[in-house]
Amino acid sequence: MAQPYSARSRAIEPFHVMALLARANELQAAGHDVIHLEIGEPDFTTAAPIVAAGQAALADGHTRYTAARGLPALREAIAGFYGQRYGLSIDPERILITPGGSGALLLASSLLVDPGKHWLLADPGYPCNRHFLRLVEGGAQLVPVGPEVNYQLTADLVERHWDADTVGALVASPANPTGTVLDREALAGLSQAVHARQGHLVVDEIYHGLTYGMDAPSVLEVDNDAFVLNSFSKYFGMTGWRLGWLVAPPDAVADLEKLAQNLYISAPSMAQHAALACFQPETLAILEERRGEFARRRDYLLPALRALGFGIAVEPQGAFYLYADISAFGGDAFAFCRHFLETEHVAFTPGLDFGRHLAGHHVRFAYTQSLPRLEQAVERIARGLRSWQG
């Protein structure tokens, strides 16, 4: 009999939402009109100038490997973007282009975490963060957070939960699934608390650009030694192109480059050439228009769900999610989601995918559908609540 598969593969949990998504696709294939509020992917296709740049790259034969750190022109463009958006002077040599934000997390966790060591992570949070840590034989110490701390780690929580095996903290701003943002003061406090313990601060800024009524500060405004994960997927709308980046302290770049060479050789060449168009004024104008549309969706869906009895204690300032407490309706989150999928053909995500803290009492809605579709979804949810409670 063959040996069992690795302990690490058994320890990594599947996405609960994937079972719901598979069922949603079955219903859709059978002719039902399913409204998808479960997947964290913008409904907009990639902006036309980016697509044109990608097509031109293919036509020009840019199909070979690039340097492991990525195209110099793209790293320079990203550095210029930090100057334009945040007033920061970032050396392009500190930027590594990665296959999605996931590639950036893979590099950071491989560099910073030895077997048996861990990072502090907010619970609820994006599940792949803890799974990547397990992949490198490290771990995640999940810290329960709620609306009283904006669903974020704080300097005080870092001080209380840090132990002998803690080597860093990972925070996300804006956060998935809650959409909350860390302001400059909170980032500075976290930086001070982590560095006072000789740890590393890693900040997921993948949803930067998708904030409403405010701009999220970058941790690099207060901590030049932080590691920053970012992506072309969300604000730039390039999910399927699989492209992200990592900003690292200068003394970490050589080791990160070595890891990149061995783990994936380079990020997709065509995607890198396409991404050069992201920073053109005409592209940014399209992206800002889309940000405004996401804001209008949030401003509709948030009060509509609250009026139905969903508990949303903190108004999300970014991303495109609402993390809602369903305690008023009883039951568990997975059964709740299953009910609305089967009876009303509205798909959303159970909190079980985002951690353990009160996860069975929460669900996440992604407002990645048009306003008319969101209005339809609210009508169906209102009807489904009557049958759920009846």
pLDDT (tens digit per residue) in 47-57: 999 999 999 99
Give the other-Cβ count within 10 Å of 90's Cβ: 20
d(CA 198, CA 183): 23
Identify the pLDDT of residue 176: 97
Domain with CATH 3.90.1150.10 in the chain: 7-45+283-387
Identify the pLDDT of residue 18: 83
pLDDT at 259 over 90: yes
The predicted-structure confidence for 340-365, as pLDDT tens digits, reads as follows: 999 999 999 999 999 999 999 999 99
Q: Which CATH class is domain 7-45+283-387?
A: alpha beta
* CATH classification code of 48-280: 3.40.640.10
The pLDDT confidence band at residue 39, using thresholds 50, 70 and 90, is: confident
Domain with CATH 3.40.640.10 in the chain: 48-280
198: left (phi over 0), alpha (psi -120 to 50) or beta: left
d(CA 97, CA 104): 8
387: closest CA among 329, 328, 332? 329
Identify the pLDDT of residue 390: 56
The pLDDT confidence band at residue 164, using thresholds 50, 70 and 90, is: very high
Walk across the sheet containing 349-350 and list its strands.
321-325, 362-366, 349-350
Identify the pLDDT of residue 245: 98
The pLDDT confidence band at residue 13, using thresholds 50, 70 and 90, is: confident
The predicted-structure confidence for 58-99, as pLDDT tens digits, reads as follows: 999 999 999 999 999 999 999 999 999 999 999 999 999 999
